[in-house]
Amino acid sequence: MDWSAFRDRFHLPDGVIYLDGNSLGPLPKATADRVRRTVEEEWGDGLVRSWNDAGWMDWPARLGDRIGRLIGAPAGSVVVGDTLSIKVYQALASALELNLGRRVVLSDSGNFPSDLYMAEGLIASLGRGHEMRIVAPEAVADAIDDDVAVMLLTQVDYRTGRMHDMADLTARARAAGAVTVWDLAHSAGAHEVNLTRAGADFAVGCTYKYLNGGPGAPAFIYVRPDLHDRVRPALSGWLGHAEPFAFDAAYRPGAGIARMRVGTPAVLQLAALEAALDIWDDVDMAALRARSQQLSDRFARGVAARCPDLAPALDPHVPRGSQFSLRHPQGYAIMQALIARGVIGDFRAPDILRFGFTPLFIGEAEVDGAVDHLADVLDTRAFEHAEFARRRMVT
């Protein structure tokens, strides 16, 4: 693949090495025009007619199909909308209903807090005696037993980058009679995923990280096609109704994945996402995965050689996603010092420096530049300047 051609499709400010596409993907050059067209022509001139004429109402399904290609989901099994936290709630609620006799929601301590919080909140509202069983990531396989109603996991640990074997854990869960919900927040657009081959029941993810849909871009949800007509949507909004414009007083779920829609789609965000997905249509996911591992390995080697005070957050033999994380007690200040030099990664409490390697716009030169800056920040103790200790809201 010609990676430099992909890089040309992004707006990247001069002097910046952007290693945080795993948190907020950069701006595709085509996005501004695409959004402007939706604002000026579709909204400005088309007005309410654009729900039909510009196809706004179908966007959640159409863009869902395009994401489906990246995650091994057939057409008609993915729909876009809401935020990831909402989609976690929806998927878990439907999954629990498929397994009414059981009480345990199994997850791991590497899951993102919002997924765990949403599960806690749902369990409290259901009031049916469900309980969370949260184990270490390495202990998930052994914690699957006959009490588990739903296994709710994020495939790639947002802090360490540790990657679960989706096919293996899904097969084990299925054999034990548990329903599976996979969060692909750090997987979709990062490496190959095949939900169909894995036999996953539900999956969710966001589009503002690797997929580059922009801040506030909507989430997506997948339901295995043979379950579509059995799942009851817990968030029974009008756009998931069989006939939204019949305005019935009673809810009847729509056919297929459409029932996982809730309310009015965020059209301006969908326009931005559509421009971002144009890039993904041209990406070979196997080649992308190989390249991202090659780049993060290069970074790991550089750091090991030149930054003895930094410890990898993960054993090098454990499979990882598209990020590489390092630990240091002064991690926050070190990251602030790097950002001041234009090397942008992020910090995750208590001590993790996180770097994302997204081959669409990162190459060897950026990796080497980041290692140089990191070594310099540590060697000169530049991170000890008072300005880098000040905690800001978003880390």
Ligand X SMILES: *Cc1c(COP(=O)(O)O)cnc(C)c1O
| Interface with ligand X (CB under 6 A) | 83-85, 112, 114-115, 154, 158, 183, 185-186, 206, 219
> Residues in the chain, how many?
395
Least distance in angstroms from the C-beta of 156 to ligand X: 8
Q: Which is nearer to ligand X, 108 or 366 (CB)?
A: 108
Q: Which residue among 9, 87, 162, 209 is the active-site one?
A: 209
Nearer to ligand X, 211 or 303 (CB): 211
DSSP letter (8 states) at residue 231: P
> Is 29 a residue of the active site?
no
CB closer to ligand X, 81 vs 254: 81
As measured in angstroms, the least distance from the Cβ of 224 to ligand X is 20
Catalytic residue among 354, 355, 361, 383: 354
> What is d(CA 340, CA 347) in angstroms, rounded to the nearest whole number?
14
Given the residues 208, 299, 357, 361, select the one marked as catalytic.
208
Alpha helices, DSSP H, located in the chain = 3-7, 31-37, 50-53, 59-71, 84-97, 113-126, 140-143, 166-175, 195-198, 267-280, 285-306, 331-340, 364-379
CB of 256 to ligand X, least distance (A): 24
- Listed in sequence order, the residues at least 6 apart from 389 whose beta carbon sits closer than 8 Å to its beta carbon are 332, 333, 336
Known catalytic membership, residue 208? yes
Shortest Å, Cβ 206 to ligand X: 5
Q: Radius of gyration over alpha carbons of the chain, in Å? A: 22
Is 112 in the active site? yes
Picking from 359, 356, 390, the residue whose alpha carbon sits closest to that of residue 370 is 356
Euclidean distance between CA atoms 326 and 34, whole angstroms: 38
Exactly one of 20, 82, 115, 183 is catalytic; name it: 183
Instruction: Choose between 150 and 374: whose C-beta lies nearer to ligand X.
Output: 150
Q: Side-chain half-sphere of 353: how many Cα atoms within 13 Å? A: 27
**C-beta closer to ligand X: residue 148 or 185:** 185
Q: Half-sphere exposure of residue 337, counting CA atoms within 13 Å on the CB side?
A: 21
Is 354 in the active site?
yes
Q: Least CB distance from residue 215 to ligand X, whole Å?
A: 10
Residues involved in catalysis: 112, 183, 208-209, 354
